[in-house]
Amino acid sequence: MGKYNFKLAKQVLTDGEKDRILAIYLNTNDGVIDWATATSDFGAASAESMKVSLRNTMKKLDKSAVGEAPESEDPPAETATKGKKRKAAPAEGEETKGKKRGRKAKKEVAAEESAEVKEETE
C-alpha cells in the first residue's frame, strides 16, 4: 500500500468510504483482515462487496493523488478533437453511385434470374 495524504483523503472520500476503511482497519490483526467481521460491522452485503468497494476507494485515492488536488464535481473541459476529413465532392458528370453492399433484394434477384432465362432461350 502506498503513502497517502490525509488531508487529501479526507476531502476526496465520502463518509461511507471512510466508515468502510475504519471497519476494515479495526478488524485487522497482524496485517490479516477478518473480512466476515468487518462486513457484519459495516453492514455490507458480502465480504466480496467489501473487497471490491475498498479496491475502488483505493483507486479513487490514487487517482486524486496524481494531481494532488481533490476531485471536483465539474469535470475538466475536454479539448476539441479534429474531425474527419470529408471526401472530395464528385465532379459533374461523374458517377456518384458506388457498389452496393449486402444482400440483394428479392425483386433484383428475380429480375436477374428472368434475364438469365431469356438469354438462355435466345
**Structural domain tally of the chain?**
1
Could you say which residues of the chain have pLDDT below 50? 69-71
Q: For residue 65, give the 3-state DSSP assignment.
A: helix
pLDDT of residue 49: 93
Structural domain includes residue 16: yes
pTM: 0.50
pLDDT of residue 70: 46
Structural domain includes residue 99: no
Structural domain includes residue 34: yes
Structural domain includes residue 76: no
pLDDT of residue 23: 94
Structural domain includes residue 113: no
pLDDT of residue 95: 62
Structural domain includes residue 24: yes
pLDDT of residue 93: 63
With helix as H, strand as E and coil as C, how does the chain read?
A: CCCCCHHHHHHHCCHHHHHHHHHHHHCEECCEECHHHHHHHHCCCCHHHHHHHHHHHHHHHHHHHHHCCCCCCCCCCCCCCCCCCCCCCCCCCCCCCCCCCCCCCHHHHHHHHHHHHHHHHC
